[in-house]
Chain A
Amino acid sequence: MSKNQTSRTARASWQAATFVVALALAMLTIGHTSDARAADKSSLRILSIGSDVTEILYELGFGDQIVAVDTTSQYPPEALENKPNVGYMRALSPEGVLSVGANLILASAGSGPPETIRALKASSARYVEVPAGKSAEGILTKVEAIAAAVDASDAGARLKDKLAAEFKKLGQTARTVTKKKKVLFVLNATGGRIIVGGAGTSADEILRLAAADNAAANVTGFKPLTTESVIAMAPDAIIVMKGGRGGLDAAELGRVPAIRLTPAGKTGELRDMSGVFLLGFGPRAPKAAASLIAWLYPERAGSQ
C-alpha cells in the first residue's frame, strides 16, 4: 500500500472513531428519559408469553391489561397486531422484556433462555410461570394458574367450568366413534419432502382428543418423510398446517402422485387448518378437537 493511501485510511479510521465517541456521548443524554415508572398497584400491566397464556388472558377479560406479547401469540388477532412483540418465546431479550414496563410477567413453562428468565425473576415485575399441559387437565391447570396470578378466581372458575363441560362433551362424542380414522398431520410439505407430526408431538395430542389415530405414530417428533413412506402409512385423512413457510397447501398436496395413492388422496380428505388453532392448547382446544371430529366423522356432527 502506498504511504499516501495508508495515511488516508488511518485518518478515516480516526474520524470514524471520533464520530463513534460523539455518538456515544449523544446517546448518554438522549437515553435519559422517563425511567421512573409510576407503579399503580391497582392497574395490571401484563406481559404474556405463550399463545395459550395470551388466549386464556383474553378469555378471562384481561386483554386490555396485556401490554406486550411474544411471537407465538397470534390469537385473538389484535394480540399480535396492536401490542409490542418481545420476540420468540425461547429467545427473549432480558432488557427488551423489561422495557415494555410490565408489572406481571406470565410466561409459559417453555420460555427462555434461562439467563433471561433469571433476570426477569430478579426484576421488580412479578414473574409467574404457567405450566405447559397438552391434556384437558393440563389446560384447566393453566387457567387456574393464570386466574390466580391476575387475582380473578371467579372468572377463572367460570372459564374452568365452561372448558370442563366442553371437554366432557368432546369426550362423549369421541367415545361414540367406533372406527377411528388414521390421520396424517403435515407441518410443511414441499415437492418430495413432507414434515409430519409423529408420536409425542402436539399434533399427536390433538388427534387423540379428536378420536383419531396418528398415521405417523411410528415416528417420534416432527420428522421429514418422503412421499413414498406416506403411501405406506395409508392415512384416511391429511391435515396440512396453514401459515407455514412456503410449502404446498392441501389442494396442491392432494395432486402429488404419491399422495393420490393414499386413502386420503383417493377420497380427497385433505384439509388446511390453522396451526395456532389446532396446536395452541389454550381455551380453544376443545373447539379445535370438535372441529376435527366434525370434519373427520361428519355423521357425528349432529350429536355435538
Chain B
Amino acid sequence: MAVDRGDMPRHAFARAYLARTTFKNWSVGARLLIGSGVALVAAAFASLAIGPTGISLFAIPQAIGAMFGNTDDVAALQSRLVLFDLRLPRTLIGMFVGAALAVAGAMMQGLFRNPLADPGLVGVSAGAALAAIATIALGDSLAAFWVNALGIYALPVSAFLGGIITTTLLMIVAGHSGQLMMGTLLLAGIAFGALAGAASGLIAYASDDRELRDLTLWSMGSLTGSSWEKVAAVAPFALIIGVAIPSLVRALNGLLLGEAEAYHLGIDVPRAKLVIIAITAAAVGAAVAVAGVIGFVGIVVPHFVRLIAGPDHRVLLPATALIGATVILAADVVARTIVAPSELPIGIVMAIIGAPIFLHLVLRRGML
C-alpha cells in the first residue's frame, strides 16, 4: 500500500487525493471507505426507487407537487405517500439500524478484545427484547397506562429503556471501585441475558394467540413499521452516536493492546469503557426499538471489514457503519419485493444472503 493509515482517514483521503491521482495508489482503508460509501448511496437509491407499487423516482416532481400544491391528482398523492411517507422513512430507519447494529458489534468486539463479542453478550439485546415483549403482552392489562400514554411510541421507548436499564444494572454489578471488571461483566451479561430470556418466555407463555403472533413477528425483525415519528425518535440517538464515535477511536485502538497498555497510552480507561458501553446500549436499544431483533449485522460486518482493511478503528468504525447500513438496505429491498405484495422478515433474508458470503470469505482467507 502506498499511503499509510497514519492519520485520521479524512486527512488521509485529502492527502492521498492531492498527492496521487489514481485510485490504485490509495490505501486499502481509503478505498474501502469510498467503495462502501458509494455502495451505500446506491443502496439508498435502490431502496427509494424499488417497491411493489412500481412507483419510481421519476414520480418525485409529481410527489413534491402533491406536497405543496393542493392537488386532487390521486396518482400524485399516492406517489407522495409511497415515496415520502413510506420509502424515505424506511430507508432512513434502515440506514440507522444497519449502521447502529454494525458499529455496536465492532465496539463490543474491540472493548472485550474478543472477535465473537456481540451486544447480545452483555445482555443489552435481551433487556431491550424483554421490555418490548412485556409491552406487547401486557399492553392491555398491567402496562395499559404506559401504552395509553405513549401510543405507538410505547414499544420503541420500552425497548430502549430495557437496554439502558440492563446495561446500568450490569455496570453496577461489574463495577468495582470505579473499575469495570470485564470478566464479571461478560459473565453477568450472560446471566442477565438468560434471566431476561426466561422472563420473556414466561410472558410469552402467559400471552394469548394474537400477542404471541406479534411477539414472534417482532423477534424476527422488520422495517415494516417505519414512519417519520420513528425517524424522529432515533435521530437524537444517531446524532449522539455519530458525535461520540470519533472520540472513541483512539481508546478502542489502545484497548486492543490491553487495558494497562491503553492506560499507558494516555487513555482514561474507566471512562472510555463507560462511554463505549453506554453508546452501545443506546445504539442497540434504539435499533431494536424501531426494527425488532435483527441478528448477523453486528458480528459479520465488522469481521468483513477487518478481513479487508485490518483492525484499526479509524477505518473499521466508519466502514462498518457504511457497510452495515448498505447491507440492511439491500436486504430490506429484497425482503419487501421478493414475495410482494407480502414481505419476508429481514432477518431471514440477511442470513440467507450474508452467511454464505461470510463463509466464503473466511474459508478463502483464513479466519483473521
Contacts and interface: CB of A to CB of B under 8 A. Distances in A.
When A and B assemble into the complex, do they touch directly, with CB atoms less than 8 Å apart?
A: yes
Given A10-B32, A23-B46, A98 B39 contact: no
B46 A27 contact: yes
A13 B35 contact: yes
A18 B42 CA distance: 9
Given A20-B46, A32-B58, A115-B225, A221 B208 contact: yes
Contact of A39 (B57, B74, B310): B74
A251 interface: no
A35 B77 contact: no
B43 A1 contact: no
Given A10-B28, A87-B342, A119-B86, A96 B50 contact: no
B209 interface: yes
A123 interface: yes
Contacts of A39: 74
Contacts of A20: 39, 42-43, 46, 330
A94 B210 contact: no
User: Chain B CB within 10 Å — which of A14, A29, A94 has the most?
Assistant: A94
B45 interface: yes
Contacts of B217: 88, 90-91
Contacts of B307: 1, 9
Nearest to B74: A124
A166 B315 CA distance: 72
Interface in B72-101: 74-75, 77-79, 81-82, 85-87
B75 A96 contact: no
A138 interface: no
A95 B342 contact: no
Interface string A1-38: 10101110110011011101101110111111111110
Contacts of A25: 45
Contacts of A124: 74, 77-78, 81
Interface string B330-346: 10000010011111000
Given A16-B39, A222-B208, 6 more contacts: A17-B39, A33-B54, A93-B224, A95-B86, A99-B52, A119-B81
12 contacts: A1-B365, A13-B31, A21-B38, A35-B53, A35-B79, A71-B342, A87-B339, A91-B222, A95-B87, A115-B224, A115-B226, A222-B209
